[in-house]
Amino acid sequence: MGALRDVTGEPMTQMGETVVAASGVDLTFETNDGPVHALKGVDLEIGKGEFVSFIGPSGCGKTTFLRCIAALETPTGGTLTVNGMSPDEARRARAYGYVFQAAGLYPWRTIGGNIRLPLEIMGYDKAAQAERVARVLELVDLAGFEKKYPWQLSGGMQQRASIARALAFDADILLMDEPFGALDEIVRDHLNEQLLALWARTGKTIGFVTHSIPEAVYLSTKIVVMSPRPGRITDVIESPLPKERPLDIRDSKEFIEVAHRVREGLRAGHEA
């Protein structure tokens, strides 16, 4: 924690080694109506420990790019490496945890059982499973809910459980695809705050897809603005905000300036 606080107030551009490197990434889907350019010429570097948000209108390829990093889609051109490996190798090395828009908890498993799912698949022994489940439940503030079934929890709690599930096996990268998109604003604020605290505690590299400007500015060290047809990056903003961010930082001058620049980027992409 001490080391992280040292950079407070400084623009966090230098975060050490590169985790994700994309250069000239293209992804074209062949459809009956001709090719669709989901991604075109995407260049991006994500450093270790960065919190990177992808923002843009629907169809801009932000989710598609995240899925490329996760090897759930395969780019048709360019190069993309994750931890210096191909995305598919990184997936098999279990380099990342993925959080989807819906919590997607198995209704027939308890919260603890859902978090154990990846651990069972990856072959952790029973003692390690129990220890990790307890640890990540505490991390997302759900201690005591291990034996509850998903339907007994609110939407926000379910999404926190799904984040715990993605954290359980200690991947260094956390990829989140509009994880709070389906939640109301009050719950979302709360979860954003918790996510920042979690990020500070764990030092993970986070890729975060959103369509909310305040959410992107509040959370990120780097904001990637994208626009559609073809899906591409129009602006990359290094956030000047300090690492320590209370909710009321959203009324500060810096925050409003960054939000303004994001909005400009989105508008420029829209008009192009």
Partner 1 sequence: MRNLGPILTVVAAIVVIWYAGAVGLNAAWSKDQAARAGVELSFGEMVSQTLSQDRPKLPAPHQVAVELWQSTWVEETQGRRGLVRSGSLSNRSLVYHGWLTLSATLLGFAIGTGAGVLLAVGIVYNRAMDMSVMPWAIASQTIPILAIAPMIIVVLNSIGISGLLPKAIISAYLSFFPVVVGMVKGLRSPDAMQLDLLRTYSASGGQAFWKLRLPASMPYFFASLKVAIAASLVGAIVGELPVQQGGLGARLLAGSYYGQTAQIWAALFAAAALAAVLVGIVGVIQRRTLTRMGMAR
Question: Could you tell me which of 269, 254, 259 has the C-alpha nearest to residue 62?
Answer: 269
Closest CB to partner 1 among 39 and 174?
A: 174
Closest CB to partner 1 among 121 and 256?
A: 121
Q: Does 205 bind partner 1 (CB under 8 A)?
A: no
Q: Indicate which single residue of 4, 7, 102, 130 sits in contact with partner 1 (rule: CB under 8 A).
A: 102
Distances (CA, A) of 26 to 13, 64, 86, 266: 26, 11, 15, 21
Distances (CA, A) of 53 to 3, 176, 219, 223: 23, 9, 8, 5
Q: Indicate which single residue of 27, 70, 136, 237 sits in contact with partner 1 (rule: CB under 8 A).
A: 70
Give, as ranges, the residues between 167 and 186 that touch partner 1 (CB under 8 A): 169
Strand ranges (E), the chain: 18-31, 34-47, 51-55, 77-82, 96-99, 173-177, 205-210, 222-227, 232-238
Question: Could you tell me which of 238, 120, 208, 111 has the C-alpha nearest to residue 164?
Answer: 111
Minimum Å gap between C-beta 133 and partner 1 is 15
Minimum Å gap between C-beta 113 and partner 1 is 9
Q: Indicate which single residue of 8, 79, 85, 120 sits in contact with partner 1 (rule: CB under 8 A).
A: 120
- Stretch of 115-123, 200-208, 215-223, 249-257 lying at the interface with partner 1 (CB under 8 A): 115-123
Q: Indicate which single residue of 14, 17, 151, 186 sits in contact with partner 1 (rule: CB under 8 A).
A: 151
